[in-house]
Amino acid sequence: MATSTSRNHTQTPDFEAAAERVKKANDRIADAGRKVTSAYLDGVERYVIGLADAERKIAEQAQFEAVGGLLSTHANITEDVVKASVAATRDLIKA
């Protein structure tokens, strides 16, 4: 008695489902990258503000008014540049 078994099982991969899984994984990776970058930018901003505050305190204690003014101005410029750079970078990572 001969039995006939059919081995004609053709399975086509579900490319749409695979593409959707890849898209979701990419979205999760991009979100994680945005969070890490945002945390890094927060740290940079806090660090520079701390340095600028320290420089202003040194400027207050300077014996010469010109040196104090120079240090204070440098602290203000540094802080403004970093805040602008961080704001521009935040806008880029939101896109």
Q: What is the pLDDT of residue 2?
A: 54
pLDDT digits (tens, 9 = 90+) for 12-36: 778 888 899 999 999 999 999 999 9
Do 78 and 37 meet the contact criterion of CB atoms below 8 Å apart? no
pLDDT digits (tens, 9 = 90+) for 33-58: 999 999 999 999 999 999 999 999 99
Do 21 and 34 meet the contact criterion of CB atoms below 8 Å apart? no
C-alpha distances out from residue 90 to 34, 39, 53, 72, 94, Å: 9, 11, 23, 27, 6
> Which of the 8 DSSP states describes residue 61?
T
pTM for this model (two decimals): 0.69
Distance CA 76, CA 72 (A): 6
Amino acid at 38: S
